[in-house]
Structure formats: structure tokens, C-alpha cells
Amino acid sequence: MAISSRAAQAKSSVDVVTTFLARIRALADDPGTLDLTFGNPHEMALPGFTAAVRAQVEPQSVDWFGYKASERTAQEAVAAGLSAELGLPFEPEDIAMTQGAFGAILLALALLTDAADEVVIPVPGWFCYEPMLHAVNLVPVRAALNPVTFDLDLDAIAGAITPHTRIVIVNSPANPTGRVYAKETWHALADVLERASQTHGRRIWLLSDEPYRRIRFDGVDFASPAAVYPWTVIDYSYGKVLLTPGQRLGYLALSPLIPTEEREELRDALMPLGLAIGWGFPDAVMQYSVPALEVLTIDLAELTRKRDRLYGALTDAGLEVTRPEGTFYLWGRAPGGDAVAFCDELAERGVYVMPGTLFDQPQHFRISLTATMDMIEAALPHLLDVIAARRG
């Protein structure tokens, strides 16, 4: 075998996603295709995004061409923004700039785990946690969410924890369900983690995966577990809130509540580990753009209109759909309970939605609201036809 068994395991745990991605890519050339699958943009980026990046493209000094670790101006802008948003006193030293949330998650794993440690992940949850954990020799342990509400199931998390657990990953607003968890949930989870850490004599860390933090509907409050459970690190990406996932920019933030000695030790490790994972810092242009990008957001009113249009039409048609409180995804139960058959039938009509098999949920499907309203309007008659036919 040419690749390592670890790499093979990582690859196989994401095969269902990459195979689906290849199929969708092959269709992208067909102008008639309505692609409502991945969270990709279907329109040009915000003018403010282009202006912010363009302003940094022209080299202003020789330093522009040098190696960039976390740029101080970027760290300062992030720390100020996060402090205002979460009501916690973040300092620039708590922030490591990364290649999106992907890079921040990898940095968190490098920072906090030993080989073969276990990491608890939510199911249904983002399909890249598992391959990422396999790729760095960690063991994913699944904890099912409540199958109806998709709330955290604290008993499931407690049951998934063993003496080898090092990290529990939580994701709010959550992909694919769109749920946003309230502060009470974090208090209850903190109790579970504190008890388990005491029982096993080993600190369990929380990785709060928050790339959708600024994408919320109806003024739903956001609470980060970083304000509740001190042993928390936050990963973030600008790729969601600006809908520019190809321009890699994000960060890992240490909770200011981490006890001082551990916080200092972690701060000192951020730069060397950012280097060790393959110089995981964003490119200079993206880092210089952070102060301008920090204050930009995609049009949430338009996103809300798209959510309401689709959610309303699908629930009127009798479908069980989770009304997203955040993210840009709509998560529903396929008519007839077979998501692959449902998605295949739609694909025959040129409408692509994501079967829940990518999330190990064969009865569900996910629609990305990053499609334009025109695409949604064009897809709806097909969706309604297929739903009616499959419901018999």
C-alpha cells in the first residue's frame, strides 16, 4: 500500500463526500444545473471584500514579501472584535491567525492532544472532523445529537467520554442542522466536562467550532462556551460570513478564562505549532486585510428571505424541516425517508441537493442557502413535484 494506513483511514472516512463533490464538479459546466449542495458562493463577493483585499495587494514595503506568522494588526483587530462580541477580555496574544477554520482546528489538535487521544464529535455534524482526526492519529468518538431537536444530548456526550478523551468538539450555529445552542446548554455541558475531568484525572478541553457565529437569523442570541467553561478554544473562519471560502482566513482564539499558567503556556506554543503544522498562517494580503474584513457581513436580510421562502414552501408541502437559527443550511427529512432516492430524482431534473448520507443520516437532506433567490425559485417547482410524487 502506497499510502499509510492512517491516511487510508482518513481518506475512506471522507470518500462519500469527495465522490459526491467530484460528481457535482462534473456538472458545474452545465449552465442548466441548479447546485444547492455545498456552501459555495453563486454571486460575486461583497464589493467591500474586494476593496479590502485590493488595498493590500500593492506591496508597501519589503516586509510584504517576508514570512508571516500571526500579524499583530490582525491579532489586535480579532481580539477587539471578539471581546466586543463575546464580552470576554481577549488579548492579541490569545489569537493565532490560520488558514480558515480548517487550519484553526488542526492547530487546536496539535496544541492540545497526544497521539491516539480520543476526540468526541457531534453526529450529525460536519463531515470533515472525522478525516481530520484520523489524519493526525487521533480517534473520533461519535456522540449523537437529539434525533428530533438536534440539541446536544449530554448523556450521549458523557457516555462517549473515556479516560482517553482529550477534546469535545461543539459547533454552534451547527452545520448541518442550523441549531444555535443557548448558554444554559453550555452550563450543563461544562458540568459534564468538569465531572469527567475530575473522574479521569485528566483535563478535557472544549473546541468550539464557530465559523457560522455571525450568521444568525431573527436576532437569535449567540453564547460561546468559552464564556462558561474556561478550558475552551474557539476556531473561526471569515470564509462563511463573507462567503469567500477560497480565500483562506481564520483564527484560533484561547479563552481568556483559561487559568493564567496554562494560558501563558498555550500562547507560547501558538507560533511554533503554527510553523510545525506546515506554516499554517494565512498569506500576507489576507492578514493585512483583517481590520477591514472584521466589520463586513454578507446580506443577512437576503439570506433570511431565502430561508423563509424555502422553509415555508417545504413545510407547506408537509416536509419535516428544521428551521435554521443560524448557518446557511436547511436540514430536512426526505419524503419517503430515503434521501439518496430523493436527491437522485431531483438530480435527474438538474437540481442538486445534498443527501444526508454525507452526514451519516440517510433519511435527511441538506440545502445550501448560498444559492441565489433565482436559483431557489427555479428549483422549488421541481422540489415540490418530487416531494408530492414521493409522498404518494
**Contact residues for ligand PLP, defined by CB under 6 A:** 39, 100-102, 126, 171, 175, 209, 211, 237, 239-240, 245, 250
Q: Which is nearer to ligand PLP, 342 or 359 (CB)?
A: 359
- Which of the 8 DSSP states describes residue 221? -
Q: Which is nearer to ligand PLP, 68 or 179 (CB)?
A: 179
Judge whether 231 and 258 are in contact, CB under 8 Å: yes
Closest CA to 201 of 155, 254, 164: 164
Instruction: Give the burial class of 48: count Cβ atoms within 10 A of its Cβ; 0-12 exposed, 13-18 middle, 19 or more buried.
Output: middle
CB of 163 to ligand PLP, least distance (A): 27
Closest CA to 220 of 173, 156, 150: 173
Cell of 188: 450543563
CB of 108 to ligand PLP, least distance (A): 11
CB of 342 to ligand PLP, least distance (A): 22
CB of 99 to ligand PLP, least distance (A): 7
Q: Which is nearer to ligand PLP, 211 or 324 (CB)?
A: 211
CB closest to ligand PLP, residue no: 100
Residues 6 or more apart whose Cβ sits within 8 Å of residue 171: 122, 125, 126, 208, 209, 210
Beta pairing partners, 333: 364
CB of 13 to ligand PLP, least distance (A): 16
CB of 236 to ligand PLP, least distance (A): 9
Q: Which is nearer to ligand PLP, 141 or 207 (CB)?
A: 207
Instruction: Give the burial class of 236: count Cβ atoms within 10 A of its Cβ; 0-12 exposed, 13-18 middle, 19 or more buried.
Output: buried
CB of 86 to ligand PLP, least distance (A): 18
Which residue reads 458523557 in cell numbers?
158
Q: Hey, what's the torsion of the CAs at 189, 120, 199, 115, to 10 degrees?
A: -140
Coil/strand/helix, residue 207: strand
Q: Which is nearer to ligand PLP, 102 or 205 (CB)?
A: 102
CB of 38 to ligand PLP, least distance (A): 8
CB of 150 to ligand PLP, least distance (A): 13
Sheet holding 354-355, edge to edge: 321-322, 329-333, 364-368, 354-355
Three-state SS annotation for 237-270: EHHHHCCCCCCCCEEEEECCCCCHHHHHHHHHHH
Q: Which is nearer to ligand PLP, 171 or 322 (CB)?
A: 171
Coil/strand/helix, residue 217: coil
Which residue reads 462534473 in cell numbers?
26
Q: Which is nearer to ligand PLP, 252 or 346 (CB)?
A: 252
Q: Which is nearer to ligand PLP, 140 or 350 (CB)?
A: 140
Q: Which is nearer to ligand PLP, 211 or 355 (CB)?
A: 211
